[in-house]
């Protein structure tokens, strides 16, 4: 039944006609799909469908997630959750009732931060965020595992950085999903690597994801993932999102890097810097060895000198020198030397050396020894301080 004008001015509708006209108007004048920000209120599950109200504090509108769509969602909103929905308008003409049909739903930043704070408050008392439990990173890792999406710009950046900094480290790329309801898959990959870390000879794990919104990083705020990272037997480096983004996984990890590239910089040494350090060590070692060789040469020279000083020839020569000195001393002290200088040795008739004039009397025979012979003499008289003698005649000598 079509609307007819009344008195040529106002259109006239039946109830069904009016509702149908409103529906046609909405269908023609409104976008088929749109994004809607709101807060979930009074969610109720009826016959597999989730009915709820979306509100912003000033207005509200009913919404529904059909059962077939609800099974596909990774996030099911609850009371008070802030959400961003992809929806379209459903208008039931029979009741003139307008409802937002939700095609997809994601937590809003408010909901993500609230979940982050809830998990943080739960795990902090257990000491999972304490700096003391963080393990040091290996100084020169031989092999590390990269857990990230494949292919991705994050992976390309990490591979390029590893090649530039320290190509000696082997890289094991483990593809993982990094968005959506994938926490269980990420945990499984980490647990698998932890169980086989010795077999694979791994030294560390890098959990990385490139840029994105904070809502996209919500998967790394899970409690179970945090406990998995804390229990991992290998040091874990997280490079998730942007520099300003902090997730629960970042707080639990042994090292939190601002980006995937920064994670590789933190984990791998710089070969240019290491080359300079090695050159410095080489110079230091050369100096130390040079000093030690010089000291050894000096010690060897001293040992040779000491050995030469105790050689039998040297000992004999020193003994000869000593004997020559003693001989010279004896010669210098010998009476013969005094006689050669003009002194004389006087003995009595019995050959006893005279030391005083009181040992002889006038008329005693004495012998005077000079440097070139002997004189026989007779004491004529004694005078203190001097002795007067006269030589014996040949007959007297006989």
* Distance in angstroms (rounded) separating the CA atoms of residues 209 and 171: 17
Cα 256 from Cα 134, distance rounded (Å): 11
Per-residue pLDDT tens over the stretch 195-238 = 999 999 999 999 999 887 888 888 899 999 999 999 999 999 99
Whole-model pTM above 0.85? no
On average, the pLDDT of the chain sits at 87
**In terms of CATH, what superfamily is 113-269?**
Response regulator (3.40.50.2300)
Q: What does the pLDDT average to over 31-41? A: 88
Q: What is the CA radius of gyration of the chain?
A: 59
Q: How confident is the model at residue 396 (pLDDT cuts 50, 70, 90)?
A: very low
Superfamily of domain 31-107: Nucleic acid-binding proteins (2.40.50.140)
What percent of the chain stands above pLDDT 70? 94
- Residue 206 contacts residue 267 (beta carbons within 8 Å): yes
Q: What is the pLDDT, as a whole number, of residue 337?
A: 72
Checking if the pLDDT of 314 tops 50, the result is yes
Q: What is the pLDDT of residue 388?
A: 55
Task: Examine domains 31-107 and 113-269 and report if their fold is the same.
Answer: no
Domain boundaries, the chain: 31-107, 113-269, 344-397
pLDDT in tens, 119-139: 999 999 999 999 999 999 999
More confident residue, 350 or 299: 299
């Amino acid at each position: 039944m079509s609307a007819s004008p009344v008195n040529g001015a106002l259109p006239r509708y039946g109830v069904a006609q009016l509702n149908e006209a409103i529906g046609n108007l909405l269908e023609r004048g409104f976008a088929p799909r749109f994004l809607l920000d709101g807060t979930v209120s009074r969610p109720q599950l009826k016959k597999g469908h989730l009915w709820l109200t979306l509100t912003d504090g000033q207005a509200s509108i009913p919404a529904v997630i059909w059962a077939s769509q609800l099974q596909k969602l990774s996030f099911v909103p609850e009371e008070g959750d802030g959400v961003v929905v992809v929806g379209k308008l459903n208008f039931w003409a029979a009741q003139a009732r307008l409802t937002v049909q939700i095609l997809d739903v994601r937590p809003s930043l408010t909901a993500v931060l609230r979940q982050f704070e809830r998990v943080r408050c739960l795990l902090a008392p257990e000491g999972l965020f304490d700096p003391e439990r963080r393990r040091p990173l290996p100084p020169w890792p031989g092999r590390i595992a990269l857990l990230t999406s494949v292919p991705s710009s994050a992976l390309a950046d990490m591979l390029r950085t590893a090649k530039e900094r320290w190509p000696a480290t082997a890289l094991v790329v483990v593809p993982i999903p990094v968005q959506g309801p994938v926490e269980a898959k990420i945990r499984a990959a980490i647990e698998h690597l932890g169980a086989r870390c010795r077999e694979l000879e791994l030294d560390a794990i890098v959990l990385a994801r490139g840029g994105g919104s904070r809502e996209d990083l919500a998967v790394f705020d899970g409690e179970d993932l945090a406990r998995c990272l804390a229990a991992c037997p290998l040091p874990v480096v997280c490079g998730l999102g942007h520099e300003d983004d902090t997730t629960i996984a970042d707080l639990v990890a042994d090292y939190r890097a601002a980006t995937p590239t920064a994670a590789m910089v933190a984990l791998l040494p710089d070969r240019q810097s290491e080359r300079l350090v090695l050159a410095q060590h080489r110079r230091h070692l050369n100096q130390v060895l040079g000093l030690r060789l010089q000291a050894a040469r000096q010690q060897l020279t001293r040992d040779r000198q000491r050995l030469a000083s105790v050689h039998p020839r040297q000992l004999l020569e020193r003994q000869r020198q000593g004997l020559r000195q003693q001989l010279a001393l004896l010669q210098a002290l010998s009476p013969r030397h005094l006689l050669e200088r003009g002194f004389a040795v006087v003995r009595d008739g019995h050959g006893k050396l005279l030391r005083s004039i009181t040992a002889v009397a006038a008329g005693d025979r004495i012998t005077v020894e000079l440097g070139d012979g002997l004189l026989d003499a007779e004491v004529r008289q004694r005078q203190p301080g001097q002795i007067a003698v006269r030589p014996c005649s040949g007959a007297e000598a006989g």
